[in-house]
Structure 1
Amino acid sequence: MQNNRNYFIAIALSVLIVLAWQFLYMNPRIEAQRKIDEARKAQQQTIEQVKTPAADGQAAQPGATAPSGQAAATETREQALAKTPRVIIDTPALSGSINLAGARLDDLRLKDYHETVDKSSPIITLFSPADTADGYFTELGYVGTDATGSVPGPSTLWTAPEGAKLTDKTPVTLTYTNEKGLTFTRTISVDDHFMFTVADRIENTGQAPVSLSSYGRVTRFNKPTTPSVYVLHEGFIGVIGEDGLIETKYSAAEKEAVTPPKATGGWLGITDKYWAATIIPPQQSAYEARFSHFTDGQPRYQADYKDDAFTLAPGQSVELKNLVFAGAKVVPVIDGYEASYNIPRFDRLIDWGWFYFITKPMFKLMDFFFHYFGNFGVAILCTTIVVKALFFPLASKQYASMANMKRMQPKMEELKAKFGDDRMGLQQATMQLYKEEKINPIAGCWPVLLQIPIFFSLYKVIYITIEMRHAPFFGWIRDLSAPDPTTIVNLFGLLPFTAPTFLHLGVWPIIMGFTMFLQMRMNPTPPDPTQAMIFNWMPLVFTFMLASFPAGLVIYWAWNNTLSVIQQAVIMKRHGVKVELFDNMKGLFRRKPAPSK
């Protein structure tokens, strides 16, 4: 029993992890996906029944607090795009258009990312107009007073030069002049990735001073179609001044708006698993931020800010600059923006989790191997080798402790025979034996406990980073972030039917289960029948439970088990302890003698 204590601790911890995953993530995800499919069919039927476009769905002019008010959305995306004048966006990474009504970014697609692993599938649509059911947009405007006159807001029609087109080489300049002599000149530029720069110049050509303040908002109507999970934050996010990182779930905002204290510096927006839209307001001005959910008209989620008011005297002008990130959360790109624009903690837009100090370096290591080998699956294998090498001294102590425990087994049996039912005497004698032989019975636990954060960090990297999305390995694994698509139930695709989800068992989970079986057979079967049953059935249980995990994580676990078997065999042999693997394997097929009569 002592020999297997460390292993059973590892099993218990692993079972806890897997059960939590199954009940907190997989079961809700399967059920939610069914509902999503049904909702999509119903929505499609509704769209087909729409015969005429709805009335103008633009939001009402924002008041003195923040933008609000949105009409119900019933139009198709094509109808909404054709309804207002637009400026085309065409860069190496983006396609879409700027809506001149409100100067909104409400039509944006990501050229390099497709909805499925099939390159012929549609590219990802990030932003859609407010008149559609999937409305999602970013808007920058101003809040004024009666003396200010009308200022740029949701319904303001900006003017663009004829034939204007926004590319990474050619910015676009929009203009608007109100009835009070205020002239707004907006220059929008974009780089070759996902960062827009919006520079406004406001000139007071009127006869009286005016007071106004700027605002910005990221607004979306729907939550992501895939259900949220505990290990990943999706929803509102921002770094607000001294308050630092703030993450607010959609469900929390539905109950009550989150309004951090007025701050200077930072950013705010909405994040999904792989995509995000954020606004980086002027970093020298104080502003009020808010994460909220509105139900007036079209229900919507909104991250917005409003600057303190400033005054423009006649003949005076002022310049303001906002940055808008809208695109894929590519790690080097996000890190580059943080450094080049001096955006505080912008790398936290990617949810690295509690073990940030482990997770991000692990990604960097995997990314290094990827750039060397060109395959993230190979990068996972190489990263596993590096992790095993780093933990080799601890693993050596663990297996040495196990070897010493095995060597002490005959003496332990003598003590059991000597003390019989005297548990206190047996415990004292056992501790004395450990002391004489210089054995620490819990030394083998520490490597297992220390590697749990490593496992979580690797899972986090595979699950959240867009670099893993649709990243192939070899053979049938075309997406390391998705489960193994094969299943033994239909003979790995030879039979023409799809296996039920709960019976889905791919090739790599089977390989992982076999390597786990070999690893457990490195130690003798426990004498206790209950422990022996757990010992025998655990690999099979894990095989089915991990079948729904990302293929990259299952490949890592299978490879890690294989390296552990080799490592344990080498260390035990060095300590003069017999490797039990082959004898234990033979014992499985050896017939037990019939009980004597």
Structure 2
Amino acid sequence: MEKNRNYFIAIGLSVVIVLAWQFLYMNPRMEAQQRAAEAQQALQQQQAAQNPTFTPESPGAATTTGNLPGAGQAQATATRDQALAKSARVAIDTPAVSGSINLTGARFDDLKLREYHETVDDSSPLITLFSPADTHDGYFGEVGYIGSDTSGAVPGPGTTWTLAGGDKLTTTTPVILSFTNEKGVVFNRTISIDDHYLISVADKIENPGAEAITLSSYGRITRNNKPVTPSVWVIHEGFLGVPGTDGSLSEHTYSSIEKEAVTNAKATGGWLGITDKYWAATIVPPQTMPYEGRFTHFTDGQPRYQADYKGDALTIQPGQSTELKNMVFAGAKEVPLVARYAQDYAIPHFDLLIDWGWFYFITKPMFQLMDFFFRHVGNFGVAILLTTVVVKLIFFPLASKQYASMANMKRMQPKMTELKEKHGDDRMALQQAMMALYKEEKINPIAGCWPVLLQIPVFFALYKVIYVTIEMRHAPFFGWIQDLSAPDPTSLFNLFGLLPYDVPHFLMIGVWPLVMGITMFLQMRMNPTPPDPTQAMIFTWMPLVFTFMLASFPSGLVIYWAWNNTLSVSQQAVIMKRHGAKIELFDNLKGLFKRKPAESK
């Protein structure tokens, strides 16, 4: 009795430590990070409003010579609406995006995603991706040129382009811009957009002069300040790209680039940019032009993060012309769309824009299977359930073998009881005798753990799919689950919303986590009770610990786990019955409420 009391105390202390760590350390730490980021953002906005603006290039100016643009940018002094009103613009209007092109620099700095809202409420604001450079959340894409002594002025950040054709950028009507420098060199730019998020920037440069000119193209994605989002280890947010065609993905966090800029080796082909959890902005250089890519950070004016490239020098002979085509992706990281862009436009490994993780060989096929079911049933929650059935069928042969071994172990219970009576308190002799019995009967004593262990990679792969893919964002199931990528919003501790008060984050134990815990408990009770009291106690408390742990996980993952447990219980019952083993689920449940006889002293 004393031993059991100590076991209960040990397990209780373990649970208390886990909950205390979550409540007293992790939750305050995450909240402090969020408050610090918001305070920093507010301070930067206040400082920007108090400090005068400085601009290295006057409006209408063009770049002559120099390096990539970036340093010396104006501080944020305007609201988004004020910034948009400062310059002449051409509207962007497609089914997927709305916004405008800034004719100063031909810059894409105003873009909203029409198909995505900030919350599950369709009346909430649209997602704003791009904003002008002189706002606090400035974020934009730009394509320009770096001149030489022979080129004269070339289009850059301060160039005012002339609208030569098209008054609105749509999927069927491109916009044509023009700029002519003091040497008569003509830059004609045709901007087009598809029905989603890919913008094409096609330039034709004509040299009517009597001497050759030399210039270099550049492209950049620039962002003011870090986005205010909690840091999560399961997904990469920050700089990324595939410079070249060898498929080598280059990933860097904002913090690492603050310490040291990264310049990639000269390459031909590929892409680079900045990614968020669900959105991304990338520049795709001309795929036949050698270039040098870079991830860098500027602190003058205000913190800015920039992914850019500089192409090799181009020489245009007198009376000749040349053409270049850049592409800018700015939008949602929809899996089929990103894959189609990679294939249709021969962009090397553009599908790596989505962070599939280490288990990509499981994660990506699992998403494709779920997406297949979704297209037929129209509900990602149901698609998760159907995917789980397929996974169970794939693992059925191995699970059948494991459960058969467990059934044989049940039949060996009388012999194990005899060994316990024979060896009494000699635990070493008892363990040796049991191992000999297991070997003789070809029984695996830990067979009951294998079904759980085997699904761990699948569990993490599914977690990655639900957490990373935008298709799961705001995807409803049934009832109160309106977002499979978010935790169950209900809580046992306010009777699932019946009591009018909010509960702490660590007590948000919703309906589906409880269902998951119950099904896990039943699955554990399908297995023989371990002879060791410590192991038995761990198996008893494990469902409760997992209920608390998974309560903060995406509800889609918890639904998967609960459904998987239910299928496992059914599968195990069928297999054990086939092998003639008694299903002791109900006996084990009854045993929990029986008083154990007192130990003799």
> Take 2:421 and 2:290, find their aligned partners in 1: how far apart are those partners?
78
> Take 2:169 and 2:97, find their aligned partners in 1: how far apart are those partners?
10
1:147: how far off?
2.4
1:425: how far off?
5.8
1:583 is matched by which residue type in structure 2? D
> Take 1:538 and 1:335, find their aligned partners in 2: how far apart are those partners?
41
Identity of aligned residues (%): 72
Specify which of 554, 562, 567 is matched with residue 566 of structure 2.
562
SS at match of 2:484: coil
SS at match of 1:523: coil
> Take 1:503 and 1:102, find their aligned partners in 2: how far apart are those partners?
52
TM-score normalised to structure 1 length: 0.91
1:175 is matched by which residue type in structure 2? S
Q: 1:150 to 1:63 in 2, by over 3 A?
A: closer
Specify which of 277, 282, 286 is matched with residue 278 of structure 1.
282
2:402 is matched by which residue type in structure 1? Q
1:109 alignment partner in structure 2: 112
1:293: how far off?
1.1
SS at match of 2:455: helix
Segment drifting more, 159-168 vs 462-471: 159-168
2:579 is matched by which residue type in structure 1? H
1:422-441 to 2 correspondence within 5 Å? 429-441=433-445
> Take 2:358 and 2:457, find their aligned partners in 1: how far apart are those partners?
9
> Take 2:27 and 2:566, find their aligned partners in 1: how far apart are those partners?
27
Q: 1:244-276, CA deviations, whole angstroms, 9 ceiling, x for partnerless residues?
A: 211111111111111111011111111110000
Segment drifting more, 379-388 vs 495-504: 495-504
Segment drifting more, 134-143 vs 523-532: 523-532
SS at match of 1:215: strand
Q: 1:525-554, CA deviations, whole angstroms, 9 ceiling, x for partnerless residues?
A: 444443333222222221122111101011
1:32 alignment partner in structure 2: 33
1:542 is matched by which residue type in structure 2? F
1:66 alignment partner in structure 2: 68
- Tell me how large the CA RMSD over aligned residues is: 2.8
Does residue 582 in structure 1 map to residue 586 in structure 2?
Answer: yes
SS at match of 1:160: strand
SS at match of 1:377: helix
Specify which of 452, 470, 473 is matched with residue 469 of structure 1.
473
> Take 1:416 and 1:293, find their aligned partners in 2: how far apart are those partners?
69
TM-score normalised to structure 2 length: 0.90
Specify which of 287, 290, 294 is matched with residue 294 of structure 2.
290
Specify which of 98, 101, 109 is matched with residue 98 of structure 1.
101
Kept after mapping to 2: 8 A contact 1:264/1:283: yes
**Stretches of structure 1 lacking an aligned partner (at least 5 in a row):** 1-10
> Take 1:382 and 1:405, find their aligned partners in 2: how far apart are those partners?
32
SS at match of 1:181: coil
Q: 1:40 to 1:508 in 2, by over 3 A?
A: farther
Does residue 376 in structure 1 map to residue 380 in structure 2?
Answer: yes
Does residue 129 in structure 1 map to residue 132 in structure 2?
Answer: yes
2:404 alignment partner in structure 1: 400
> Take 2:437 and 2:80, find their aligned partners in 1: how far apart are those partners?
77
Q: 1:442 to 1:582 in 2, by over 3 A?
A: closer
> Take 2:159 and 2:220, find their aligned partners in 1: how far apart are those partners?
15
1:238 alignment partner in structure 2: 241
1:159 alignment partner in structure 2: 162
> Take 1:57 and 1:89, find their aligned partners in 2: how far apart are those partners?
28
2:7 alignment partner in structure 1: none
Q: 1:539-580, CA deviations, whole angstroms, 9 ceiling, x for partnerless residues?
A: 222112211110101111111111111111111111222112
Q: 1:219-239, CA deviations, whole angstroms, 9 ceiling, x for partnerless residues?
A: 101222212211101111111
1:311 is matched by which residue type in structure 2? T
**Count of aligned residue pairs for this structure pair:** 579
> Take 1:433 and 1:528, find their aligned partners in 2: how far apart are those partners?
17
1:5 alignment partner in structure 2: none
1:454 alignment partner in structure 2: 458
Q: 1:22 to 1:278 in 2, by over 3 A?
A: farther
SS at match of 2:134: coil
1:42: how far off?
6.4
2:229 alignment partner in structure 1: 226
Kept after mapping to 1: 8 A contact 2:165/2:177: no
1:347 alignment partner in structure 2: 351
Does residue 481 in structure 1 map to residue 485 in structure 2?
Answer: yes
> Take 1:337 and 1:313, find their aligned partners in 2: how far apart are those partners?
34
1:146: how far off?
2.7
> Take 1:594 and 1:357, find their aligned partners in 2: how far apart are those partners?
54
Does residue 333 in structure 1 map to residue 334 in structure 2?
Answer: no
Q: 1:452-491, CA deviations, whole angstroms, 9 ceiling, x for partnerless residues?
A: 2111110000000000000000000110000111112222
2:587 is matched by which residue type in structure 1? D
SS at match of 1:89: strand
Does residue 199 in structure 1 map to residue 202 in structure 2?
Answer: yes
> Take 2:67 and 2:49, find their aligned partners in 1: how far apart are those partners?
35
Does residue 304 in structure 1 map to residue 308 in structure 2?
Answer: yes
1:398: how far off?
1.4
1:244-259 to 2 correspondence within 5 Å? 244-259=248-263
1:418: how far off?
4.3
2:526 is matched by which residue type in structure 1? M
SS at match of 2:551: helix
